[in-house]
Structure 1
Amino acid sequence: MIAYDNDNIAKVEQAYMLKTECLFKLKKKEEATKNNLLLAKYYLDFAEGIFQNDIQGALRCVNYYQKGIKLYRDNGEPQKAEIAHKRLVEIQKEIPQIMVPFSIELDIKGVVDNIKINMEGLTFEEGLIRLTQMFVFEKQEDIKNRVIGEFKDHPLAHMFGKRCT
């Protein structure tokens, strides 16, 4: 299974884990440790193969690197874990360059024109009072609840900024 399904990570991962479990039950701890180290190497090799110029591959790559690092650390190979961790940091630095930016632009020209019309001919003090009457100021708790609610409903929308013109 491990040798023939190299491209199907779910099958290979499960095969390695079952083999490790069997080796532990047979009290072959040394062979089980070697098997876990082979799985860690497989994770890193697979991760390098899927780290391409798309964000899904890059994010999956990070996940497999983390699994491989944990296996290296748990099975007595801290130096390999450190090398893999350095590569993981490099990959994480490259991810923002892979992400495809998109933006939402809001046209607030009408709002600005409305403010200009309503402020025309007023003194500074009158203009300030009019301005405060034009906008509703929200309570901090209301803003907090709205932001948390929007994040729960649309978590991906908060990963990208908004720009007003």
Structure 2
Amino acid sequence: MTTSQLADPISPLVALVSIYERCKDILRSVGHEWCLNNHDQKAIQARIATEHQQLEEWGHSIGLDGPKKAQLSSSSDGYLLDRDFHESTQGILESIVSIFEETIAGLAPHYELPPPSSAPPTGSFLSAKNPTSRWHRQDKVRFMAFAETVHYHIGVLLQKLDYFESVTSG
């Protein structure tokens, strides 16, 4: 985000919408990889860790904390963003980040494959993708709960954006 964009009073809204789009992309891509790579806990952990780091950086970059907050709160023409909107949005972003942190922390024990002795000598990948396998069902339930929680926070964010747009356009 450039300095000229920071001076644009609508840029915080644009940035928040782009974060919403990013969250949707994360859910879509991680969900896809969850299905493809559920036999490989390191792959999915690395992907979610990367996405978490990027999401956290986005939260910092739009100035909802730190020195940029004042720049985003007002512009040269006197446009003022609602302080409560800033604080609640920051809380939502922090919640999303914490969801990613908790998910990363909880992935490893739930991604352990059955011991090699219990796995068939061939076709272990197919075995790992078998939807009747108990560990796979548990992972699916955990991912759906994770996705629903993130969707909830995104929904709250969108409600705030709708309110913000109605106030500023009125």
> TM-score with structure 1 length normalisation?
0.38
Return the structure number with greater relative CO, CA threshold 8 A, min gap 6: 2
Structure ID, larger Rg: 1
> TM-score with structure 2 length normalisation?
0.37
